[in-house]
Structure 1
Amino acid sequence: MHNRLRLTAIAATTLLTTGAVASTTASTTASAAPNRAPSTSLVVNARISAHCSFDRIVVDVKGHLPPTTVKRVRELRYDASGRKVPLPGKHFLEIRLSPAAAHNAAGKSVYKGPRLVKPNLTKLKGFALTGDFEGVVHFGAAFNSRPDYTTKRLHHPERFVLDIAHRNTC
């Protein structure tokens, strides 16, 4: 009986010691990686351009490129207020990056791109930053006709690309 209690005490001490060493190692490793990407990606810019057979939207990200989705929506609304985004068009795409932010930890905007533009390209008629709230950054794109599009994730530097096809104009 005495030996069983002694073995249980030794096993418990070993487990506690191993856990403490593992915890110390993990915290040391985390603090020793100063060049690690921030946990929340920062959306720093967006660009639009026209090409012979497509219009292009590029979203530049500092840090790791977060999961990004594009979906068709009936209308565009600003995240915080719910107000309708004043862009021309009958068809709209919503671009969602999450987890991401367009501001730093102090709340200052790091986003240097357009907030709302009406470029009147072959397909793309409007583009806006529609939200930067609770770890999600939203953009909206407006079109007169239903857009056919493809997406790409490019690295070094990190960026998301949305190409909207149209007839060749060159």
Structure 2
Amino acid sequence: MKKFRVWLVAILLAAGSALVAPGPASAAPYCGLVWGSLVKADPAMSQAQVTNVRTGQHYCFDRLVLDLNGPAAGYTVRYVPQVVQDGSGLPIALRGQAFLQVTANAPAYDENGNATYNPANPDELTDVTGYQTFRQVAWAGSFEGYSSLGLGVRARLPFRVFTLEGPGAGSRLVIDVAHFW
């Protein structure tokens, strides 16, 4: 009977330790993000115009939004050694250790050449002071149906790009840049 109790206690202890022992370590992506840092593009051309640029902070990423006055279509977002102005190719100085060139396949002017987006300060489109990833957002211009801006970030981090409908007949081009890998 004594041997039976010893075996029973040993089996129960072994089973109990399996329940509380930690499992194998796994490297889960930060916040579940699996975006990557390679170029993201859609070659379609938009009939809409850029009307506004804004930013926001989220738990796992910082967000850049380009507002358009119609359906969004087409973009190219990629890391570059230096952001350049549309048309002239002149470099744009940006704060940060990595730089995203964001190009919307949509002009920032109407069919009569009137500006639909005219930033008060092209070097600081929005105040990103205190953002975890963003360092600066600067206007690179609008030329031949394309509008570009530079996004200075603290490091080459994963990002995603997508479009959203609304509000109303408008739409948004959204760029999220993760805080970490």
TM-score where L is the length of structure 2: 0.64
**Equivalent of 1:103 in 104, 109, 125:** 109
SS where residue 107 of structure 1 aligns? coil
Matched, 1:165 2:172: no
Matched, 1:51 2:64: no
**Equivalent of 1:60 in 67, 77, 84:** 67
Residue 152 (structure 2) aligns with: 142
Alignment of 1:4-83 (within 5 A): 40-83=47-90
1:115, CA displacement in angstroms? 2.6
Residue 162 (structure 2) aligns with: 152
Asked whether the equivalents of residues 40 and 135 of structure 1 are also in contact (C-alpha less than 8 Å), the reply is no
SS where residue 49 of structure 2 aligns? strand
- 1: CA distance, partners of 2:63 / 2:88: 28
Asked whether the equivalents of residues 94 and 150 of structure 2 are also in contact (C-alpha less than 8 Å), the reply is no
- 1: CA distance, partners of 2:69 / 2:75: 14
1:78, CA displacement in angstroms? 1.1
1:112, CA displacement in angstroms? 5.1
**Deviation string, structure 1 residues 43-72 (Cα, Å, up to 9, x no partner):** 001101112221110111112212112111
Matched, 1:119 2:163: no
The total of aligned residue pairs comes to 128
Which 4+ stretches in 1 moved above 6 angstroms? none
- Could you tell me which amino acid in structure 2 is paired with residue 143 of structure 1? V
- 2: CA distance, partners of 1:149 / 1:110: 27
- Could you tell me which amino acid in structure 2 is paired with residue 61 of structure 1? L
**Equivalent of 1:84 in 91, 94, 113:** 91
Structure 2: 5+ residue runs without aligned partners? 1-45
TM-score where L is the length of structure 1: 0.68
Structure 1: 5+ residue runs without aligned partners? 1-38
